């Protein structure tokens, strides 16, 4: 068996219609996995159809994972599309809200925590039950540089991503002995829609780029290799890791 082979594996990727989620879903598809793209984007069916035309085994599932009942229904639908099995879960869905902390609306706080933190735990739990019964599985959460740094005007996002890192370790402690690998990727500064304001800010862009040893922002393609590694047999003895994919930013 090839260490990095995920041919025929059944995967669910949340937030898969754009940005890093799209890149990771594409990487898994290119490596032979059958993937359910789960997102709220109304164009998701077109995206899945385009992948299908390229010969990839792909499904579109338009769903909002912000609420408990909606998450459970979406997960059951995803399982149905995959024939009742899930080998890989990638929790890539995430939202951002920016306000000074003293003025941060509690409604925005609740929304960020619901998507970035509570939904991640719930989907891990739903997938974990299936994977425990199967005796194997790979769960890949998406943390952030803000699991180490506090950020600025993003207290809810920073709190949620810190929680994702700790949740990843907590689940690994319980599930490693059951054949399940739970790990996280912490992207650095990525040129995605979520960071469009930073990319457009010439001053901040230059400041950030100067600190990155690779001297460039990351792209969604930079997430493909790490997610394939964590989804494959190559990472079978890796558990509870939070892997920075940041061009070396943390080193500076």
Catalytic residues: 157
Question: Which residue in 55, 223, 214 sits closest to 144, CA to CA?
Answer: 223
- Secondary structure letter of residue 249 according to DSSP: G
Helix (H) and strand (E) counts for the chain?
A: 9, 7
Residue partners of 38: CB distance under 8 A and separation at least 6? 12, 13, 14, 15, 16, 61, 63, 65, 74, 78, 93
Instruction: Identify whether the C-beta of residue 41 lies closer than 8 Å to the C-beta of residue 17.
Output: yes
Q: Determine the 3-state secondary structure of 132 from DSSP.
A: helix
Instruction: Identify whether the C-beta of residue 151 lies closer than 8 Å to the C-beta of residue 104.
Output: no
Instruction: Identify whether the C-beta of residue 188 lies closer than 8 Å to the C-beta of residue 247.
Output: yes
Q: Determine the 3-state secondary structure of 144 from DSSP.
A: coil
Which tokens is 31 given?
A: 């490596």
Q: What angle do CA 203, 206, 212 make, to 5 degrees?
A: 145
Question: Which residue in 185, 208, 197 sits closest to 120, CA to CA?
Answer: 185
Residue partners of 170: CB distance under 8 A and separation at least 6? none
């Amino acid at each position: 068996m090839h260490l990095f082979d995920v041919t025929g594996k059944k995967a669910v990727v949340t937030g898969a219609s754009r940005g890093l989620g799209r890149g990771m879903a594409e990487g898994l598809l290119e490596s032979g996995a059958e993937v359910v793209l789960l997102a709220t984007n109304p164009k998701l069916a077109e995206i899945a159809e385009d992948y299908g035309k390229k010969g990839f085994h792909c499904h579109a599932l338009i769903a909002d994972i912000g609420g408990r009942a909606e998450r459970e229904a979406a997960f059951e639908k995803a399982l149905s599309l995959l024939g009742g099995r899930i080998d890989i879960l990638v929790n890539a869905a995430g939202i951002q809200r920016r306000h000074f902390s003293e003025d941060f609306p509690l409604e925005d706080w609740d929304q960020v925590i619901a998507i970035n933190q509570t939904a991640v735990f719930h989907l891990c739990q739903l997938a974990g039950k299936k994977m425990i019964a199967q005796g194997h599985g790979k769960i890949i959460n998406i943390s952030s540089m803000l699991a180490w740094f506090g950020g600025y005007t993003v207290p809810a996002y920073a709190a949620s991503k810190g929680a994702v890192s700790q949740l990843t370790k907590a689940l690994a402690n319980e599930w490693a002995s059951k054949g399940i690998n739970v790990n996280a990727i912490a992207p650095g500064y990525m040129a995605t829609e979520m960071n469009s304001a930073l990319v457009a800010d010439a001053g901040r862009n230059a400041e950030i780029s100067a600190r990155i040893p690779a001297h460039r922002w990351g792209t969604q393609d930079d997430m493909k290799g790490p997610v394939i590694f964590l989804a494959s047999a190559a990472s079978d003895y890796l558990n509870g890791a939070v892997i920075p994919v940041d061009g070396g930013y943390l080193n500076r």
